[in-house]
């Protein structure tokens, strides 16, 4: 019995190897006209990160191996790195880059892994084709000089609040702090005021409930969501994709309330990103002769985009403050 099972297993491995080899060769033929920098094969199962690098077997190490490949591609208009049935094209020619990103951008869809960021629906990060173009067109109207000025002003004020906090905490000229926690608070203070026009009360007795909910949803919920979605089978992903943990539900409600408030106020003096998005949406609706609800960018999509901008701004603002300090 054991001999039969081992025979079946051996035959299965041989069939897999032959099939994988055929697929690999057919894949490489598609790109045979493009100069190759490196070609590697993946093993049947992903190897852990600590596994030693074996040429033509282990996966590409993006932290070191891929950096070498990028360096080798310098000065060449188009090269490739092939592994398994996939190939990465490294483009250095401005004309080709323009062709990919401007003329043929609809041919390149976002990877499935981006589903982890579809927290509140389709956004500029996760959409494709004409839907993405709609997101891009309207969202670009919110990134204007007035918002940049507000970000700089708020960042300066937040850093001053941080310095005052340190001075009041220690009577001596020196103080030991947790830099990550401190600059995380500064970042949320900046994003709250410049992104949402809302004070998360970081320096007034600690973050309020919405500030804590946003912090926890980004630090834990999004990460856990990504891990679960990437490791789950397709049928389970469909069930989990719309699940909102308590922190995300609180953020969802907060953003919806802010959008409704900004629609009622219509104050041209508001320079925060959310107000500019809502204003751009209303202006486009007036140009098209439709109601704001009939606009190409729905309330749900504004909510989704402002949350994506929060995620993106969190990392950029954190390191910018660190650098400035």
The CA distance from 267 to 282, in Å, is 12
What structural domains does the chain harbor? Answer: 2-104 (no CATH), 137-324 (1.10.630.10)
Q: What is the pTM of this model?
A: 0.67
User: In terms of residues, how long is the chain?
Assistant: 325
Q: Higher confidence at residue 56 or residue 6?
A: 6
Distance of CA 194 to the CA centre of its chain: 20
Dump pLDDT digits (tens) for 9-39. Answer: 888 888 887 887 777 777 777 877 888 777 6
Instruction: Retrieve residue 97's tokens.
Output: 């880059």
The CA distance from 43 to 319, in Å, is 37
Indicate the Cα dihedral angle 266, 272, 276, 277, nearest 10°: -110
Decide if pLDDT at 55 tops 60: no
Q: How many CA atoms lie within 13 A of 209 on its CB side?
A: 8
Position 296 confidence tier, pLDDT thresholds 50, 70, 90? very low
On whether the CB atoms of residues 96 and 77 are closer than 8 A, the answer is yes
Position 61 confidence tier, pLDDT thresholds 50, 70, 90? very low
Compute the average pLDDT of residues 236-249. Answer: 77
Dump pLDDT digits (tens) for 145-198. Answer: 888 888 888 888 888 888 888 888 777 777 787 777 777 788 888 888 888 888
Q: Which residue intervals of the chain are DSSP H helices?
A: 2-30, 65-73, 94-98, 129-139, 145-169, 179-195, 209-216, 222-231, 234-240, 246-265, 273-288, 299-324
Decide if pLDDT at 318 tops 50: yes
pLDDT for the residue numbered 65: 66
pLDDT for the residue numbered 321: 67
Dump pLDDT digits (tens) for 121-160. Answer: 888 888 888 888 888 888 888 888 888 888 888 888 888 8
């Amino acid at each position: 019995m054991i001999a039969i099972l081992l025979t079946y297993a051996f035959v299965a491995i041989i069939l897999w190897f032959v099939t994988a080899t055929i697929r690999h060769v057919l894949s490489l033929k598609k790109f045979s006209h493009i100069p190759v920098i490196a070609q590697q094969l993946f093993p049947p199962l992903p190897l852990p990160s600590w596994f030693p690098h074996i040429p033509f077997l282990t996966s590409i190490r993006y932290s070191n191996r891929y950096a070498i490949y990028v360096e080798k591609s310098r000065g060449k208009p188009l090269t490739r790195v092939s592994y398994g049935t996939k190939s990465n094209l490294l483009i250095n020619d401005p004309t080709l880059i323009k062709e990919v990103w401007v003329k043929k951008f609809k041919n390149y869809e976002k990877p499935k892994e981006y589903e982890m960021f579809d927290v509140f629906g389709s956004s500029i990060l996760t959409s494709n084709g004409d839907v993405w173009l709609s997101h891009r067109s309207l969202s670009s109207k919110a990134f204007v000089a007035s918002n940049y000025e507000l970000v700089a002003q708020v960042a300066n004020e937040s850093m001053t609040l941080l310095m005052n906090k340190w001075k009041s905490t220690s009577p001596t000229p020196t103080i030991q702090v947790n830099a990550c926690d401190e600059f995380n608070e500064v970042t949320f203070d900046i994003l709250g005021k410049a992104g949402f026009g809302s004070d998360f009360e970081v320096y007034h007795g600690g973050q309020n409930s919405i500030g804590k909910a946003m912090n926890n949803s980004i630090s834990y919920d999004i990460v856990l969501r990504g891990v679960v979605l990437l490791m789950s089978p397709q049928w389970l992903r469909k069930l989990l994709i719309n699940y909102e943990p308590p922190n995300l539900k609180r953020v969802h409600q907060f953003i919806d309330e802010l959008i409704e408030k900004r629609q009622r106020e219509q104050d041209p003096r508001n320079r925060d990103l959310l107000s500019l998005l809502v204003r751009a949406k209303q202006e486009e609706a007036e140009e098209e002769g439709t109601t704001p609800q009939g606009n190409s960018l729905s309330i749900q999509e504004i909510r989704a985009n402002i949350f994506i901008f929060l995620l993106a701004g969190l990392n950029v603002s954190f390191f910018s403050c660190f650098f400035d300090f």
